[in-house]
Structure 1
């Protein structure tokens, strides 16, 4: 019985990156022996165990065979005669198909170290094509290892997998898991770009794919295309260390532009209203939790209003806050504001740094929100007695008046430093 560290932990040691998790492969053992040593079984499809003390995962060396479509369509064989090289052969990329013995010896049968030095993602064998999740994993790694490129033969293989329909067999939960992890990497746009290049984006997220060649007014979007704008905004969100709620909302904020008739290009009037139901459909399709869905839908629907704060009446501003449930959940509204900031600054010009332009809308909206929240709803309810049907209208009007007073004070009196200047259009 021999134990080897495998996969990402070995890769990260070679790359000098911090190790967060270690996986182990056990060669020459059996389920019975592992149980006798106190390991606790956790694997349903193949033998994986928790170490009795460290609680780390140990898997018996195994081979696999494809028997059905999708990433679950495999049968596994684990026995003492399965070698380490046979186990490593089934892994996705050469950089993840290395092992290290307990005395520190590197086992690298497929050239993983060489590919790390060359900064290349390369599949280990044609078995890569049997598991569509590997396309998502490679794209996610591209967002993490931002200076790596995909080997041409690996990209060709991924294109063939898409064409064969393998990607269509992915279950929503796994797509969301890989997407959410990739969005939290250093440069999440690279994940989307890899999926676009191999064709998987069109199958998994046709709403995002539709943005790729859609032009926008050059006056406001010197990067021209809506897809490129979305990638710039997404990477800005990553540089600000915004949470997944914001990054996911940024990814989807402009999908409505993909439905603009070509005879209206490069303008995209009402794309916010068209985009909100598309975002809702995407979230339901992926079984995304309500928190992420709600913030993404609100961002798609309201980012234009939030950006145009200087043009809104106080009544309209309060209606935006009500639609976003900002009085009960101000934290979610802050996420929408942050996503709108990314929309504004996710633009590229050779002469202008959009990352540093003012964003006074944040102060405006927080001021309006705080003013409207200062209204004592319970006092209004108690004063209304039996006129309960009038309570929403009276409360709304009181909030509008409070917001108007705050805006007037800001513009003409005590809060001049804030300002609500105009900003580039969508």
Structure 2
């Protein structure tokens, strides 16, 4: 049994880039051989084995044949005679089609090291066309390595456009789209993921709500709303590592792309419905939906927080979940800061509206709920009295120009 490290761990080791997972391919072996050595088999469509100690993934060298639609439309073939080169040939990009043997030697039959040195994301072969998921993966790798200067090869981008136009993208499961998108949101330059999808005509198929924003003028700016959104997205990446924050920034403006009425006049119900529909389609975690909804509904409130009346400010705090957890407010303000300051030349500029809002929130936290209960307030009346006290404090802070 010959085993080789493959894929991302080899690529990132050569790039001197952090990685945590190590994947292996096994040549000249059978499933029973691995089971006899104590490996645990997982997966049904194609067997993958977990090492009994390290729990790292081991897969038998395999070839594949297109037999249906989508990324699941393949038949896999494993055999003791399948070579390492044959296994590597089915991979998406040349930089992912390298292996490392037990002595540290790099096996690179498709020019991955050359493309690493030239900072090019290039497909291995025309078999790339058979798997629509590869569009998302290439876009994600472009976001991952953009800061290092990597670009998608023109010929690879052409194949991606061909896949987009073929209708295959509709066969991608929502879960797979979300997995790749969520990973891309965690990269240093997540906007590149969206840009690459747009360049190959995939954005309009996968995220039409976002694609439409590039036709919407951005008020007080020469940019369109799509461009502003991407600037905001990268700004948020510099502020916050939480992908749910970045997702909220990415989709917080999608309501503007529906019709002219939504461009000229804020339509809260329409905007929130679009956000919820998008989250439903992608099957996002609840946390992503909650922060995206809060940003969509209350972002303009935050930008204009100093001009709001006390009751509206309290309503906003409730709406963003600040009283449940102060971290909710911090995350919400971070999203609003990205939206407000994205187009500014200096990212060091403070977001005064958000800073003021957090200070106000800290002040109204001084309301003593237990003291009010001792005075006889309870139930709905207690809630109303707490809000009245909060509003009084805010009114005094506004009067003092706090």
Q: What is the TM-score of this pair, normalised by structure 1?
A: 0.89
> How is 1:229-268 mapped onto 2 (pairs within 5 angstroms)?
229-261=228-260, 268=264
Change (3 A) 1:378 1:283: farther
Matches within 5 A, 1:403-418: 403-409=394-400, 411=401, 415=402
Using the alignment, how far apart are the partners of 1:174 and 1:32 within structure 2? 30
Q: Distance in 2 between matches of 1:52 and 1:325?
A: 44
Alpha-carbon shift at residue 402 of structure 1 (Å) = 2.0
Q: Give 1:90 shift.
A: 0.9
Q: Does 2:302 align with 1:303?
A: no
- Rounded to whole Å, the distance in 2 between the matches of 1:260 and 1:380 is 49
Residue 114 (structure 1) aligns with: 114
The counterpart of 2:166, out of the listed 159, 164, 167, is: 164
What is the 5 A alignment of 1:41-52?
41-52=41-52
Corresponding residue of 1:319: 315
Structure-2 separation of matches of 1:271 and 1:183 = 27
**Alpha-carbon separation, structure 2, partners of 1:45 and 1:321:** 48
Query: How much does 1:395 deviate?
Result: 2.8
Structure 2 residues not aligned, in runs of 5+: none
2:329 paired residue number: 333
Counterpart for residue 290 of structure 1 = 286
Residues 263-278 of structure 1: matches in 2 within 5 Å? Answer: 268-270=264-266, 274-278=270-274
Residues 1:139 and 2:139 are matched in the alignment: yes
Tell me, yes or no, if the aligned pair for 1:327 and 1:369 is still in contact at 8 Å: no
User: Which structure 2 residues correspond to residues 193-208 of structure 1 after superposition, within 5 A?
Assistant: 193-208=195-210
Counterpart Cα distance in 1 of 2:195 and 2:272: 23
Quote the Cα distance in structure 1 between the aligned partners of 2:82 and 2:138.
26
Residue matched to 2:361: 369
Structure 1 distance, partners of 2:369, 2:292, is: 28
Secondary structure of the residue that 1:371 maps to in structure 2? helix
The TM-score, its normalising length taken from structure 2, stands at: 0.94
Q: CA deviation at 1:339?
A: 0.3
Distance 1:381 1:214, change over 3 A: same
Asked if the contact 1:47–1:78 (Cα under 8 Å) also holds between the matched residues in 2, the reply is no
2:348 is aligned to 356
**1:31-70 alignment, distance < 5 Å:** 31-70=31-70
* CA distance, structure 2, for counterparts of residue 160 and residue 301 of structure 1: 38
What SS does the aligned partner of 1:102 have? coil
C-alpha RMSD of matched pairs (Å): 1.9
Q: Displacement, 1:389?
A: 4.4
Partner of residue 151, structure 2: 149
Residue 59 of structure 1: CA displacement? 0.8
**Inter-partner Cα distance in structure 2 for 1:304 and 1:359:** 13
Q: Give the superposition deviation at 1:271.
A: 5.4
> For residue 419 of structure 1, what is the aligned residue in structure 2?
none
Asked if the contact 2:191–2:233 (Cα under 8 Å) also holds between the matched residues in 1, the reply is yes
Contact 1:26 1:59 in 2 (8 A): yes
193, 212, 215: which is aligned to 2:214?
Answer: 212
Aligned length: 400
Match of 1:76, SS?
strand
Pair 230,324 (structure 1): closer, same or farther in 2 beyond 3 Å: same
Q: CA deviation at 1:259?
A: 2.5
How big is each residue's C-alpha offset from its partner over 1:308-341, in whole Å with a ceiling of 9 and x where there is no partner? 0121111211111122232112211211100000
Q: Which residue of 2 aligns with 1:398?
A: 389
Report if the CA contact (8 A) 2:341-2:351 is conserved: no
Deviation of 1:122 after TM superposition, in Å, equals 1.2
Match of 1:422 in 2: none
| 1:260 Cα offset (Å) | 4.4
**Aligned mates of 2:370, 2:76 — CA distance in 1:** 63
After TM superposition, give the deviation of residue 392 of structure 1 in Å. Answer: 3.5
Task: Please list every run of 5 or more consecutive structure 1 residues that lacks an aligned counterpart in the other structure.
Answer: 416-426
SS at match of 2:265: coil
Deviations 1:380-417 (A, max 9, x none): 355446x74444333322221122223334x1xxx5xx
Q: Closer, same or farther in 2 for the Cα pair 1:38/1:315, shift >3 Å? A: same
Displacement of 1:168 in angstroms is 0.9
CA 1:39 to 1:388, structure 2 compared with 1: closer, same or farther past 3 Å? Answer: closer
**What displacement does 1:187 show?**
0.5
